[in-house]
């Protein structure tokens, strides 16, 4: 491509709402333009990057026997009513009526549609397993679209769905897809972790996320310093602490603690480690048609993990409560403890099961219990893992320590089980001729988010640094002075040679200052720029490596071979 003909509208200014490097640089380098909140146009450079990512996905999917399809973007709302997700997805689901007043949604994901496609068409175990996928535009009316391609409303997703006769076969396919996804991200040149994820409201048994490691990631993941373990904070678990602070030695008693309300005040008052205190987090838990106050108890040194709390109560939402609401049901804010179970439902963190030497609220103004032994609640209370892991906690799989890092979720693979096939009555006949619901897996990968993720991981203050597998053009030939005939000729010749060798090459033949063109090349992020300049008369040209910023002089007659070797 000749730069003089290319549609690459680079600018100095970033969009006013852009905070992330990928948003700033993809906009400034002329990859994308914004249409409205969360809606973007992909310009030629972005289209090329997207196509490369899609090609790699297609290749790896083909290798594992997955077949590509393309389902209608506009989806009958009826399918979403049958699965019950029309409520669960809420306002993210864009709904509209056609001229005959039929209700439709713009597909935010396609579980329902894919089940509907397979239903009554695959009828026997003999035709299983089956893995179908598509790469397609999705629409989610996100509450807070932001960060450019990272969280759009319209975005491109690769979504795959597998159908199985047995749970074992789903396990096998899940592992196969996980391996293929690893290959894709490795080929794209990304540093990533696969982590355990929350299975959430959809239910199902296993769920993993693919996280590209980047400081700007919206997700926090806990990773083990010793083994492969990694998990989203929403799903991370831990082993019991091995080093426990010195326990306060007291017998059970009620103690006056005037005005001692917070955990810090409590620990200070008794001169004990917050580990031995019990914190109450009161919330209003919202179900489909009702809500109730639930008291969550964790150790004073821990915090409540909202998603874990949501899962423990099987609620739709969890919201804050006021002191007045608590007082209305006879609770005393600041002094709520788990020993009286009658006023509200309790959920106690599993780390507190059978724990001893504790201090907790006595459910009475200005009183706490000391020397509390929670084993008395073992059989009556509800214990669940609801605490967020802390940095330094012990890995659930080995004795290593957990540390936190930030990640961008670029993929999510999920053992769905029979949730959708049951809801949509999609069945096959098993070996005994008995009708069974399909056992399913679902596998998503954010294609347009990956474009942003590459840049989040690979950029500097001057712009994008594309990896070899994702670069829109591998080589940029820069004719330093377009009026110099020899330079122009050498540039044109190399351009032709590289094109003939199927190298993706750009020829910067614009009548612009060298400095301007170089800045432009850095902003766009071509892996290699070949500068054909003053030294040509002495038989030399220069290679500029975008990632290392190294400039190497090469004999002009050797440049073609050198490029072929580099790429």
Residues that bind ligand ATP (CB under 6 A): 109, 140, 142, 151-152, 155, 157, 409-412, 444, 446, 448-449
Of 150, 53, 189, nearest to 408 by C-alpha is: 150
**For the chain, what is the largest distance between any 2 Cα atoms, rounded to a whole number of angstroms?**
95
Closest separation in Å from C-beta 141 to ligand ATP: 10
Give whichever of 107 and 337 is closer to ligand ATP, judged by the CB atom: 107
What value does the CA radius of gyration of the chain take, rounded to a whole number of Å?
Answer: 29
Cα–Cα distance between 296 and 226 in angstroms, integer?
Answer: 32
Give the CB-nearest residue to ligand ATP: 446
Cα–Cα distance between 50 and 7 in angstroms, integer?
Answer: 17
Of 202, 218, 219, 203, nearest to 89 by C-alpha is: 202
Closest separation in Å from C-beta 316 to ligand ATP: 16
Closest separation in Å from C-beta 31 to ligand ATP: 15
Give whichever of 311 and 556 is closer to ligand ATP, judged by the CB atom: 311
Closest separation in Å from C-beta 146 to ligand ATP: 9
Give whichever of 128 and 447 is closer to ligand ATP, judged by the CB atom: 447
Polymer length in residues for the chain: 567
Residues 6+ apart with CB under 8 A from 290: none
Cα 73 from chain centroid (whole Å): 23
Cα–Cα distance between 240 and 245 in angstroms, integer?
Answer: 13
Closest separation in Å from C-beta 193 to ligand ATP: 14
- E strand or H helix at 531, and its extent? strand 528-532
The β-bridge relationship of strands 345-349 and 383-384 is parallel
The β-bridge relationship of strands 278-286 and 345-349 is unpaired
Give whichever of 283 and 412 is closer to ligand ATP, judged by the CB atom: 412
Omega within 30 of 0 (cis) for the link into 65: no
Read off the tokens for 58. Answer: 């297609």
Cα–Cα distance between 403 and 391 in angstroms, integer?
Answer: 5
Name beta bridge partners: 394.
239, 401
Closest separation in Å from C-beta 518 to ligand ATP: 33
- E strand or H helix at 402, and its extent? strand 402-417
Closest separation in Å from C-beta 308 to ligand ATP: 16
Q: For the chain, what percentages of helix, strand and coil (3-state, to nearest 5) are there?
A: 30, 30, 40
Give whichever of 142 and 385 is closer to ligand ATP, judged by the CB atom: 142
Give whichever of 140 and 458 is closer to ligand ATP, judged by the CB atom: 140
The β-bridge relationship of strands 528-532 and 475-479 is parallel
Closest separation in Å from C-beta 423 to ligand ATP: 18
Omega within 30 of 0 (cis) for the link into 129: yes
Closest separation in Å from C-beta 116 to ligand ATP: 19
Give whichever of 142 and 171 is closer to ligand ATP, judged by the CB atom: 142
> What values do phi and psi take at 189, rounded to 5?
85, 30
Closest separation in Å from C-beta 195 to ligand ATP: 12
Give whichever of 134 and 480 is closer to ligand ATP, judged by the CB atom: 134
Give whichever of 153 and 279 is closer to ligand ATP, judged by the CB atom: 153
Closest separation in Å from C-beta 38 to ligand ATP: 7
Residues 6+ apart with CB under 8 A from 76: 102, 103, 104
Give whichever of 52 and 151 is closer to ligand ATP, judged by the CB atom: 151
Closest separation in Å from C-beta 137 to ligand ATP: 11
Give whichever of 210 and 260 is closer to ligand ATP, judged by the CB atom: 210
Residue 507's region, left for phi above 0, alpha for psi from -120 to 50, else beta, is beta
Is the Cα torsion angle 300, 302, 303, 308 positive or negative in sign? negative
Give whichever of 300 and 411 is closer to ligand ATP, judged by the CB atom: 411
Label each residue of 254-322 as H, E or C: EEECCCCCCHHHHHHHHCCCHHHEEEEEEEEEECCCCEEEEEEEEECCCCECHHHHHHHHCCCEEEECC
């Amino acid at each position: 491509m000749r730069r003089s003909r290319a549609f690459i509208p680079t600018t100095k200014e970033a969009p006013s709402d852009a905070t992330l490097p990928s948003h700033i640089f993809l906009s400034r380098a002329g990859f994308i333009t914004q249409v409205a909140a969360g809606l973007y146009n992909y310009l030629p450079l972005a289209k090329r990057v997207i196509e490369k990512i899609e090609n790699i996905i297609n290749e790896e999917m083909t290798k594992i026997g997955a077949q590509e399809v393309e389902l209608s973007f506009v989806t009958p709302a009826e399918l979403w009513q049958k699965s019950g997700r029309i409520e669960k997805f809420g306002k993210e689901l864009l709904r509209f009526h056609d001229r005959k007043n039929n209700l439709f949604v713009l597909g935010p994901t396609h579980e329902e549609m894919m089940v509907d496609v397979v239903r009554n068409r695959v009828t026997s175990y003999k035709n299983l397993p089956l893995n179908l996928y598509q790469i397609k535009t999705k629409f989610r009316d996100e509450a807070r679209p932001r960060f450019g391609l990272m969280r759009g409303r319209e975005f491109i997703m690769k979504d795959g769905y597998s159908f199985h006769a047995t749970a074992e076969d789903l396990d096998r396919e899940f592992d196969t897809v996980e391996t293929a996804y690893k290959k894709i991200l490795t080929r794209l040149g990304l540093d990533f972790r696969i982590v355990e994820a929350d299975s959430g409201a959809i239910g199902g048994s296993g769920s993993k996320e693919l996280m590209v490691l980047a400081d700007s990631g919206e997700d926090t993941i806990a990773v083990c310093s010793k083994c492969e373990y990694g998990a989203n904070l929403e799903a991370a678990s831990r082993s019991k602490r091995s080093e426990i602070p010195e326990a306060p030695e007291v017998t059970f008693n009620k103690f006056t603690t005037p005005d001692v309300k917070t955990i810090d005040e409590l620990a200070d008052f008794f001169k004990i480690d917050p580990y031995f205190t019990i914190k109450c987090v009161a919330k209003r838990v919202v179900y489909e048609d009702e809500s109730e106050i639930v008291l969550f108890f964790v150790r004073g040194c821990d915090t409540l993990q909202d998603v874990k709390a949501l899962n423990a109560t099987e609620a739709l939402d969890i919201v804050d409560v006021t002191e007045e609401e608590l007082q209305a049901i006879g609770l005393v804010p600041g002094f709520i403890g788990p020993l009286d179970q009658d006023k509200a439902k309790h959920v106690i963190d599993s780390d507190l099961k059978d724990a001893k030497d504790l201090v907790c609220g006595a459910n009475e103004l200005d009183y706490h219990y000391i020397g509390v032994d929670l084993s008395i609640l073992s059989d009556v209370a509800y214990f669940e893992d609801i605490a967020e892991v802390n940095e330094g906690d012990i890995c659930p799989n080995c004795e290593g320590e957990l540390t936190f890092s930030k990640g961008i979720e670029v993929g999510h693979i999920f053992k769905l089980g029979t949730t959708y096939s049951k809801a949509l009555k999609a069945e096959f006949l098993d070996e005994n001729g008995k009708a069974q619901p399909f056992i399913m897996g679902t596998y998503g990968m954010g294609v347009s988010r990956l474009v942003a993720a590459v840049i989040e991981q690979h950029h500097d203050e001057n712009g994008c640094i594309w990896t070899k597998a994702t670069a829109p053009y591998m080589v940029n030939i820069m004719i330093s002075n377009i009026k110099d005939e020899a330079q122009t000729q050498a540039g044109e010749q190399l351009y032709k040679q590289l094109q003939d060798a199927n190298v993706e090459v750009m020829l910067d033949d614009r009548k612009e200052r060298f400095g301007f063109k170089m800045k432009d090349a850095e902003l766009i992020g071509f892996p290699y720029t070949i500068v054909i300049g003053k030294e040509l008369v002495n038989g030399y040209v220069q290679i500029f490596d975008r990632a290392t910023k190294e400039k190497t002089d090469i004999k002009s007659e050797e440049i073609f071979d050198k490029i072929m070797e580099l790429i």
